[in-house]
Amino acid sequence: MSVIRSLAPKKCPNCDAPKSLFVDDDRKLTCRLCGWKEGQTEDEKAPAPPQRKKMDWPLSYGTIHPGRVETWTQAKFNSGIDAVRQERYKDAIRSFEQAVDNQRDFLDGHLWLARLHD
């Protein structure tokens, strides 16, 4: 029994990535990494996808805090709310305490601690 050898080149001619070539649905040799296609001209290339700008996402849960919330405080607050919804109250208290320790003026953390300590 003989070994079947691949007829595809070992490296992509565009990006030099090893073993990245395959035969696509249009029966053309295509690179998995850079999108190069055999016999494709510059005019036929698909345009690059538009770059999305990074957005400053708001808190996942609504807050009444009037100022800016630090990222780490925001993460701990979200963890605390998730723990409350899962009825893991000790974990929630710990998360809210960490949020308040990080940002002392974070009103929502104080309010949730007061609710949970009752």
pTM over 0.75: no
Assess contact for 116 and 100: CB atoms under 8 A.
no
Walk along the chain (118 residues) and give the pLDDT tens digit of each residue: 678 776 667 788 888 888 888 888 888 888 888 888 887 776 666 666 677 665 555 546 667 777 888 889 989 999 999 999 899 999 999 999 999 999 999 888 999 999 998 7
Among the listed residues 66, 62, 84, 75, the one whose alpha carbon sits nearest the alpha carbon of residue 102: 75
Helix then strand then coil, % of the chain, to nearest 5: 35, 10, 60
